[in-house]
Protein backbone atom coordinates (compact mmCIF):
# COMPACT_ATOMS: atom_id res chain seq x y z
CA UNK A 1 0.00 0.00 0.00
CA UNK A 2 1.10 3.54 -0.62
CA UNK A 3 2.47 5.58 2.24
CA UNK A 4 3.54 9.18 2.80
CA UNK A 5 6.06 9.96 5.53
CA UNK A 6 6.71 13.35 7.02
CA UNK A 7 9.39 12.72 9.63
CA UNK A 8 9.13 16.04 11.46
CA UNK A 9 6.09 16.90 13.57
CA UNK A 10 7.44 20.37 14.25
CA UNK A 11 9.97 22.48 12.41
CA UNK A 12 11.05 25.77 13.93
CA UNK A 13 13.12 28.28 11.94
CA UNK A 14 13.98 31.93 12.22
CA UNK A 15 12.59 34.51 9.85
CA UNK A 16 14.81 34.78 6.80
CA UNK A 17 16.26 31.30 7.22
CA UNK A 18 15.81 28.60 4.58
CA UNK A 19 13.02 26.09 5.05
CA UNK A 20 12.86 22.46 4.01
CA UNK A 21 9.88 20.32 4.91
CA UNK A 22 10.60 16.68 4.21
CA UNK A 23 8.29 14.26 2.50
CA UNK A 24 9.02 10.70 1.44
CA UNK A 25 6.64 8.30 -0.20
CA UNK A 26 6.45 4.62 -0.91
CA UNK A 27 4.82 3.56 -4.12
CA UNK A 28 6.16 1.52 -6.99
CA UNK A 29 4.26 3.26 -9.76
CA UNK A 30 4.10 6.85 -10.96
CA UNK A 31 2.52 8.96 -8.27
CA UNK A 32 1.29 12.51 -8.31
CA UNK A 33 2.49 14.50 -5.33
CA UNK A 34 0.96 17.54 -3.64
CA UNK A 35 1.56 19.88 -0.77
CA UNK A 36 -1.40 21.20 1.22
CA UNK A 37 -1.27 23.93 3.86
CA UNK A 38 -3.52 24.88 6.75
CA UNK A 39 -3.04 28.29 8.30
CA UNK A 40 -4.41 28.97 11.75
CA UNK A 41 -8.21 29.04 11.76
CA UNK A 42 -8.38 28.50 8.00
CA UNK A 43 -9.32 25.65 5.74
CA UNK A 44 -6.87 23.17 4.39
CA UNK A 45 -5.88 24.30 0.92
CA UNK A 46 -3.73 23.17 -1.97
CA UNK A 47 -0.30 24.82 -2.02
CA UNK A 48 1.29 23.18 -5.04
CA UNK A 49 1.43 20.01 -7.13
CA UNK A 50 4.48 18.48 -8.75
CA UNK A 51 3.05 18.25 -12.26
CA UNK A 52 2.68 22.02 -12.39
CA UNK A 53 6.33 22.69 -11.53
CA UNK A 54 5.21 25.95 -10.03
CA UNK A 55 6.38 28.22 -7.25
CA UNK A 56 3.67 29.35 -4.88
CA UNK A 57 4.35 31.93 -2.16
CA UNK A 58 8.05 31.32 -2.74
CA UNK A 59 7.74 27.58 -2.11
CA UNK A 60 8.96 24.94 -4.56
CA UNK A 61 9.03 21.18 -4.48
CA UNK A 62 10.81 18.77 -6.78
CA UNK A 63 9.82 15.18 -7.22
CA UNK A 64 12.85 12.92 -6.85
CA UNK A 65 11.80 9.47 -7.97
CA UNK A 66 15.19 7.95 -7.14
CA UNK A 67 14.92 9.02 -3.52
CA UNK A 68 11.10 8.83 -3.50
CA UNK A 69 10.99 12.31 -2.02
CA UNK A 70 9.02 15.50 -2.56
CA UNK A 71 10.53 17.98 -0.14
CA UNK A 72 9.05 21.48 0.14
CA UNK A 73 11.56 24.31 0.11
CA UNK A 74 11.66 28.05 0.53
CA UNK A 75 14.87 30.07 0.58
CA UNK A 76 13.76 32.71 3.09
CA UNK A 77 11.06 31.97 5.65
CA UNK A 78 8.45 34.59 6.46
CA UNK A 79 6.35 34.86 9.59
CA UNK A 80 3.19 34.26 7.55
CA UNK A 81 4.53 30.85 6.50
CA UNK A 82 3.77 29.50 9.96
CA UNK A 83 1.20 26.77 9.37
CA UNK A 84 0.61 23.02 9.21
CA UNK A 85 1.87 21.45 6.01
CA UNK A 86 0.71 18.12 4.62
CA UNK A 87 2.29 16.14 1.83
CA UNK A 88 -0.13 14.00 -0.19
CA UNK A 89 0.06 11.35 -2.88
CA UNK A 90 -2.39 10.38 -5.57
CA UNK A 91 -1.94 7.13 -7.43
CA UNK A 92 -1.93 6.92 -11.19
CA UNK A 93 -5.31 5.47 -11.96
CA UNK A 94 -6.16 5.78 -8.30
CA UNK A 95 -9.23 7.75 -9.07
CA UNK A 96 -8.10 10.98 -7.51
CA UNK A 97 -7.94 9.56 -3.99
CA UNK A 98 -5.25 11.25 -1.89
CA UNK A 99 -3.14 9.67 0.83
CA UNK A 100 -1.85 12.26 3.28
CA UNK A 101 1.17 12.32 5.54
CA UNK A 102 0.94 13.11 9.23
CA UNK A 103 1.84 16.75 8.71
CA UNK A 104 4.60 19.10 9.81
CA UNK A 105 3.91 22.20 11.88
CA UNK A 106 6.16 25.00 10.66
CA UNK A 107 6.85 27.78 13.12
CA UNK A 108 8.72 30.83 11.90
CA UNK A 109 10.21 32.80 14.75
CA UNK A 110 11.17 36.43 14.65
CA UNK B 1 -17.18 32.53 -1.94
CA UNK B 2 -17.65 29.41 0.14
CA UNK B 3 -17.59 26.38 -2.15
CA UNK B 4 -17.66 23.42 0.25
CA UNK B 5 -19.96 23.89 3.19
CA UNK B 6 -20.13 21.66 6.25
CA UNK B 7 -23.33 22.21 8.14
CA UNK B 8 -21.91 22.31 11.64
CA UNK B 9 -18.65 23.72 12.96
CA UNK B 10 -18.96 22.10 16.40
CA UNK B 11 -21.04 19.15 17.55
CA UNK B 12 -21.33 17.41 20.90
CA UNK B 13 -23.07 14.05 20.90
CA UNK B 14 -23.61 11.27 23.39
CA UNK B 15 -22.21 7.77 23.08
CA UNK B 16 -24.55 5.57 21.09
CA UNK B 17 -26.27 8.40 19.21
CA UNK B 18 -26.64 8.30 15.45
CA UNK B 19 -24.82 11.32 14.04
CA UNK B 20 -25.17 12.95 10.65
CA UNK B 21 -22.50 15.22 9.19
CA UNK B 22 -23.55 17.09 6.09
CA UNK B 23 -21.42 18.46 3.29
CA UNK B 24 -22.54 20.46 0.26
CA UNK B 25 -20.43 21.71 -2.66
CA UNK B 26 -21.41 24.14 -5.39
CA UNK B 27 -18.67 23.42 -7.92
CA UNK B 28 -20.43 20.55 -9.71
CA UNK B 29 -17.59 18.21 -8.70
CA UNK B 30 -18.00 14.49 -9.26
CA UNK B 31 -15.67 13.43 -6.46
CA UNK B 32 -16.35 13.94 -2.78
CA UNK B 33 -14.44 12.71 0.25
CA UNK B 34 -14.68 12.43 4.01
CA UNK B 35 -11.51 12.50 6.11
CA UNK B 36 -10.88 12.69 9.80
CA UNK B 37 -8.00 14.79 11.05
CA UNK B 38 -6.24 13.87 14.28
CA UNK B 39 -3.02 15.31 15.75
CA UNK B 40 -0.06 13.13 14.92
CA UNK B 41 -2.11 10.99 12.53
CA UNK B 42 -2.75 13.47 9.75
CA UNK B 43 -5.76 13.01 7.50
CA UNK B 44 -7.25 9.56 7.12
CA UNK B 45 -9.78 8.74 4.45
CA UNK B 46 -13.09 7.38 5.70
CA UNK B 47 -15.24 7.15 2.56
CA UNK B 48 -15.36 8.68 -0.87
CA UNK B 49 -17.72 8.91 -3.80
CA UNK B 50 -17.17 9.35 -7.52
CA UNK B 51 -20.79 9.80 -8.47
CA UNK B 52 -24.33 9.99 -7.20
CA UNK B 53 -25.36 6.90 -5.26
CA UNK B 54 -21.84 5.58 -5.52
CA UNK B 55 -19.55 5.09 -2.51
CA UNK B 56 -16.28 3.39 -1.72
CA UNK B 57 -14.57 2.62 1.54
CA UNK B 58 -11.46 4.47 2.45
CA UNK B 59 -8.82 3.42 4.94
CA UNK B 60 -10.90 3.62 8.14
CA UNK B 61 -14.58 3.02 7.27
CA UNK B 62 -15.49 1.02 10.39
CA UNK B 63 -18.28 2.64 12.34
CA UNK B 64 -19.20 4.99 9.51
CA UNK B 65 -21.46 5.02 6.50
CA UNK B 66 -22.20 7.61 3.81
CA UNK B 67 -24.97 8.74 1.55
CA UNK B 68 -24.87 10.55 -1.76
CA UNK B 69 -28.35 11.04 -3.13
CA UNK B 70 -27.49 14.24 -5.01
CA UNK B 71 -24.29 15.27 -6.74
CA UNK B 72 -23.73 18.27 -4.52
CA UNK B 73 -24.35 16.59 -1.16
CA UNK B 74 -22.29 13.94 0.64
CA UNK B 75 -23.33 12.89 4.12
CA UNK B 76 -21.27 11.04 6.70
CA UNK B 77 -23.17 8.93 9.21
CA UNK B 78 -21.89 7.61 12.51
CA UNK B 79 -24.21 4.71 13.17
CA UNK B 80 -23.56 4.59 16.91
CA UNK B 81 -21.16 7.26 18.08
CA UNK B 82 -18.27 6.24 20.30
CA UNK B 83 -15.71 8.31 22.16
CA UNK B 84 -12.94 7.21 19.80
CA UNK B 85 -14.79 8.99 17.02
CA UNK B 86 -14.13 12.33 18.67
CA UNK B 87 -12.24 14.15 15.94
CA UNK B 88 -12.18 16.88 13.33
CA UNK B 89 -14.05 15.75 10.22
CA UNK B 90 -13.16 17.27 6.87
CA UNK B 91 -15.19 17.08 3.70
CA UNK B 92 -13.58 17.74 0.32
CA UNK B 93 -14.52 17.73 -3.33
CA UNK B 94 -12.56 17.64 -6.55
CA UNK B 95 -12.87 17.29 -10.27
CA UNK B 96 -11.48 14.07 -11.73
CA UNK B 97 -10.18 15.84 -14.82
CA UNK B 98 -6.58 17.00 -15.19
CA UNK B 99 -5.11 19.40 -14.32
CA UNK B 100 -7.57 19.84 -11.49
CA UNK B 101 -7.43 16.26 -10.27
CA UNK B 102 -5.80 15.98 -6.88
CA UNK B 103 -6.71 19.56 -6.17
CA UNK B 104 -9.18 19.19 -3.36
CA UNK B 105 -11.39 21.98 -2.08
CA UNK B 106 -11.96 21.44 1.63
CA UNK B 107 -14.75 22.49 3.92
CA UNK B 108 -14.03 24.26 7.16
CA UNK B 109 -14.45 21.08 9.16
CA UNK B 110 -16.75 19.78 11.88
CA UNK B 111 -15.25 19.21 15.28
CA UNK B 112 -17.21 16.37 16.81
CA UNK B 113 -16.98 15.52 20.48
CA UNK B 114 -18.59 12.29 21.68
CA UNK B 115 -19.19 12.19 25.42
Q: Where are the domains positioned within chain B?
A: 4-114
Q: Is the pLDDT of residue A93 over 60?
A: no
Q: Is the pLDDT of residue A53 over 80?
A: no
Give the CA dihedral A12, B36, B106, B115, nearest 10 degrees. Answer: -100
Secondary element (H or E) of residue B74: strand B73-78
Query: How many other CB atoms are found less than 10 A from the CB of residue B71?
Result: 16
Q: What is the pLDDT of residue B100?
A: 55
Least confident of B30-34, B73-77, B110-114: B30-34
CB contact under 8 A, B45 and A95: no
pLDDT grade for A49, boundaries at 50, 70 and 90: confident
CB contact under 8 A, B103 and A99: no
Q: Is the pLDDT of residue A4 over 90?
A: yes
Q: What is the pLDDT of residue B26?
A: 94
Query: How many other CB atoms are found less than 10 A from the CB of residue A94?
Result: 17
**For residues B102 and A91, what is the distance between their CA atoms, to the nearest angstrom?**
10
**For residues B53 and B4, what is the distance between their CA atoms, to the nearest angstrom?**
19
CB contact under 8 A, A96 and B102: yes
CA angle A100, B70, A91 (to 5 degrees): 25
Q: Check if B43 contacts A (Cβ < 8 Å).
A: yes
Report chain A residues whose CB lies below 8 A from the CB of B50.
Answer: 95-96
pLDDT grade for A79, boundaries at 50, 70 and 90: very high
The CATH number linked to A83 is 2.60.40.10
Give the mean pLDDT of A65-79: 95
Pick A44's closest partner by Cβ from B40, B90, B99: B90
Number of Cα atoms under 13 Å in the Cβ half of residue B23: 31
Q: Which residues contact B19 (CB under 8 A, 6 or more apart)?
A: B11, B13, B77, B78, B81, B112, B114
**For residues B6 and B75, what is the distance between their CA atoms, to the nearest angstrom?**
10
**What CATH number does the domain located at B4-114 have?**
2.60.40.10
Q: Domain range holding A95?
A: 3-109
CA dist list (Å): A96 to A99, B21, B48, B52, B55: 10, 22, 10, 16, 14
Q: What is the pLDDT of residue A28?
A: 75
Pick A101's closest partner by Cβ from B42, B99, B108: B42
CB contact under 8 A, B45 and A98: yes
Residue (of B41, B28, B46, B10) closest to B105 by Cα position? B28
Query: Quick one: DSSP state of residue B83?
Result: G
> How many domains are contained in chain A?
1
Q: What is the pLDDT of residues B62-106, one digit of tens each?
A: 999 999 999 999 999 999 999 999 999 999 998 876 555 568 899
Q: What is the pLDDT of residue B102?
A: 61
User: Do B11 and A56 touch, CB atoms closer than 8 A?
Assistant: no
How far apart are the two ends of chain B, measured CA to CA in Å?
A: 34
Amino acid sequence: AQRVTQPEKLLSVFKGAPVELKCNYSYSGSPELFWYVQYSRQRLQLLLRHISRESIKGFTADLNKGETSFHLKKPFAQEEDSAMYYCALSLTGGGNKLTFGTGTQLKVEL
Amino acid sequence: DVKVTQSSRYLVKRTGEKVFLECVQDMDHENMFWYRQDPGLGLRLIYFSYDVKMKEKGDIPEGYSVSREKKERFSLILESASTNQTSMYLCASSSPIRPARGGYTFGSGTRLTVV
